[in-house]
A and B are shown apart, each in its own frame.
Chain A
Amino acid sequence: MSLDAATVRRIARLARIRVDDTEVETLKSELNAILGYVEQLGEVNVDGVEPLSGGAQMALRSREDFVTDGEIAEKVLANAPDREQNFFAVPKVVE
């Protein structure tokens, strides 16, 4: 499988990264080099093998239902690039 420029643009759009035309070309060849490398996995027989998704081999631990956090609006907002009172602010969205 090999990526074309249109696919690179579509992926960049999905990843929300603006790319210009020269970047598309560079990315295309770099990504194709990586995809070419990983193609070797095609030769591995994985019939009947379960996928391993996590690094830890144990069951999920859960916590009790208590309120232990929150009420820190000022800290939560302290790093915001833009805010309106205690809200985060972004360019207006038209739905």
Chain B
Amino acid sequence: MAYMLEGRTGAWEVVVGLEIHAQVISESKLFSGASATYGGAPNAHVSFVDAGFPGMLPVINKECVAQAVRTGLGLKAKINLFSRFDRKNYFYADLPNGYQISQFEHPIVGTGIVEIELQDGTLKQIGITRLHLEQDAGKSMHDQHASKSVIDLNRAGVALMEIVSEPDIRSPEEAGAYLRKIRQIVRYLGTCDGNMEEGSMRADVNVSVRKPGEEFRTRCEIKNVNSVRFVMHAVEAEAMRQIEVWESGGEVVQETRLYDPSKGETRSMRSKEDAHDYRYFPEPDLLPLVLEQSFVDELAAKLPELPDEKRRRFCDDYGIPFYDAGVLVADQATADFYESVAKGRDGKLTANWMSGDFFAAMNRTGKSIENPPVSAADFGALLDLITDKTINGRIAKDVFEEMVETGKAPAAIVEEKGLRQVTDTGAIDAAVTKVLADNQDKVAEYKSGKDKLFGFFVGQVMKAMQGKGNPALVNEAVKKQLDV
């Protein structure tokens, strides 16, 4: 059902487009040989080029170009073999040249498509308008000194990809899902680490509202929102604000706003009030970027399997539900872990165990998929013990906990503790007989129609057998003896 906001004058539709700035993973900066590594002492990762010294010139980093192309391919987008860099001119203390080298008219990547999944399982396609390469600015800090702002240029010149979506997003949930999806894709591709806390991914959110069926109304741009949750909140807060403006007879003015998470509202950015006229023009220090199709083809051939494809393949290869597959492909490492365990085993059993006990243990112990609570090999060995009926599922849970705690191999734990499943029907029958004899009153109740007691008898038998009874055989034996 479509997301609508109720105002005094009726329902309003929210229209959202995102501009995601994703920092390219590379060793050095887009146009200089200084390190692109996050952090560092103030102005340590700065060359004269980054600091905009007289006579300094940009030379483009091949890897950054490749990363942009990979990302474009991951977004199923058109790769433009001809692209060009432009200067975007504006003055700011952390913009050393007084212009940012960006791509305005001819971006390296054109239109593409991204599929998002909503809570209710609905799939929706969001159009990508373009992706272009540009330089990051430095960092101004306003709270380090009483009367001055101070500037660190370590970020200045680091390569960014700006990924621009069509205004296809219609709810905070879709905005969040889209941002997560882009993050998932770039992480799979290894083109951006998607770390929003460090600012290596951030979004400018364009929001407008309209009555259903109307043309688009004026939008506002909320700058630099740095978490999925904030993007979702910002969309809602800004939409509510705009509805209030329209409904009280006002007019929404196109402007740049900031989201204040502490207040949960957006506010106008006064420093940007000075209307910008960026005076874009082709960067004369660079020539057009002309790519060979073969360069693109080589990158395409080496592209990793992307989450959507992997998810479908997991469904096909391992027979698991679409939803479960979605959980497992959330990130590349999880998917790889799953696949290394599931290969040659029961994919469904593997998936259930991973989504259940495995993730629970991971969360509980504060470990990660890269440093898992049990190794893929031990985890697989445990599943093998279940499949070949050495242990039953109930015991397997105990074994798993023991594995997490001690790091021992499952077979060793089973042997040590004598947890092998009992399949000797004689022993099972004897245990059943004893339980029924000890609980004659309950047997009578059962026989008079209280079917639910069946589970009680099974439980008692398993308990008597320290949980090691083969559940199917125990069931069978209880049934046989009760039904005589």
Contacts and interface: CB of A to CB of B under 8 A. Distances in A.
Interface of A: 13-14, 16, 51, 53-56, 58-73, 75-77, 82, 84-95
A89 B258 CA distance: 25
Contact of A60 (B27, B42, B46, B288): B288
Interface string B16-36: 000000000011100011110
A93 B62 contact: no
Contacts of B26: 65
Given A58-B287, A60-B286, A91 B62 contact: no
Contact of B287 (A13, A60, A76, A88): A60
B150 A88 contact: yes
B331 interface: no
A72 to B, nearest CB: 7
A53 B282 contact: yes
Contact of A70 (B34, B93, B152): B34
A59 B43 contact: no
B479 interface: no
Contact of A63 (B59, B150, B286, B287): B59
A69 B47 contact: yes
User: Interface size class for chain B?
Assistant: 35 or more
Contacts of A84: 144-145, 148, 150
Contact of A76 (B27, B35, B48): B48
Interface centre among B151, B152, B153 (most CB of A within 10 A): B151
Contacts of B152: 87
Nearest to A60: B287
Contact of A93 (B142, B153, B282): B142
B114 interface: no
A67 B64 contact: no
A93 B41 CA distance: 22
A59 B60 contact: no
Interface string B138-161: 001110111111111100000000
Contacts of B42: 73, 85-87
Given A60-B290, A70-B35, A72-B46, A65 B62 contact: yes
A68 B36 CA distance: 11
Interface in B79-131: 84, 91, 93
Given A60-B290, A66-B33, A70-B46, A92 B149 contact: yes
B269 interface: yes
A72 B56 CA distance: 15
Interface of B: 26-28, 32-35, 41-51, 59-65, 84, 91, 93, 140-142, 144-153, 258, 269-271, 274, 277, 279, 281-282, 284, 286-290
A49 B62 CA distance: 31
Nearest to B149: A93
5 contacts: A53-B281, A62-B61, A68-B33, A92-B142, A93-B142
Contacts of A87: 42-43, 141, 144, 150-152
Contacts of A85: 42
Nearest to B96: A88
B145 A70 contact: no
B34 A89 contact: no
A68 B282 contact: no
A90 B33 contact: no
Nearest to A68: B33
A89 B63 contact: no
A66 B43 contact: no
A82 B45 CA distance: 20
Contacts of B284: 53-55
Given A54-B284, A59-B290, A87-B150, A65 B28 contact: yes
Given A67-B35, A94-B142, 20 more contacts: A53-B282, A55-B284, A56-B287, A59-B287, A60-B287, A63-B33, A63-B60, A63-B61, A71-B44, A72-B46, A76-B43, A76-B46, A84-B144, A87-B42, A88-B151, A91-B147, A91-B148, A92-B147, A93-B140, A93-B149
A69 B33 CA distance: 5
Contacts of B48: 72, 75-76
Interface centre among B50, B147, B149, B289 (most CB of A within 10 A): B149
